[in-house]
Amino acid sequence: MKKILYLIIIAFAVISCNSGNSLSDYHEFSDLLWHKTEKPKFEFNIKKEGHYSINIDLRLIYGYTFRNIKINMNASKDATNKKVIPINFKVRNEDDSFKGEIMGDFIDLHETIITDTILPAGKYTFELDQTMDNKTLPFVMEVGVVLNEKTTEN
């Protein structure tokens, strides 16, 4: 039993050494509707320059009817250098089944928007604007932005 416990501790130590830093923030839609006027905003303070991937996480309720969600990600550093990144977030596969992980009535989706970019130290703001034709998107529970620092191995 002690050997198994030691192996688990060692495994967690190895995983945590290689995973790098992750910054994340989430916005919950209280009425399960993403109104066109609602633009979730996420702020991150990066203390030192590094290589990062930028991801969007999405949690839907089973019953979401569209194949995708169109989003504009408005990104800026220190309230300057604003950039708009259009995203066509795929929700369903070609056979119309949901992508991502399904747990009961919840569907968790993860989309990497930028795989590797250098982010200098500073304050970053990401604002998500759903750009679908509908004024509201039903069955949207939560959206989030995740920054994963990439580590270099020697």
Distance CA 139, CA 9 (A): 39
Does residue 41 lie within any of the structural domains? Answer: yes
pLDDT at 20: 59
**pLDDT digits 0-9 by tens, 66-91:** 999 999 999 999 888 899 999 999 99
The domain that holds 86 is classified in CATH as 2.60.120
pLDDT at 80: 83
Report the domain count for the chain.
1
Does residue 145 lie within any of the structural domains? Answer: yes
Does residue 14 lie within any of the structural domains? Answer: no
pTM higher than 0.75, yes or no? Answer: yes
Domain residues for the domain of 126 are 22-150
Share of the chain above pLDDT 90, in %: 78
Instruction: Give me the chain's average pLDDT, please.
Output: 87
Does residue 15 lie within any of the structural domains? Answer: no
Render 52-69 in DSSP notation, one character per residue. EEEEEEEEEETT---SEE
- Beta-strand ranges (E) seen in 12-139 are 22-28, 33-35, 41-46, 50-61, 68-77, 80-90, 101-103, 106-119, 122-130, 136-138
Does residue 86 lie within any of the structural domains? Answer: yes
Does residue 54 lie within any of the structural domains? Answer: yes
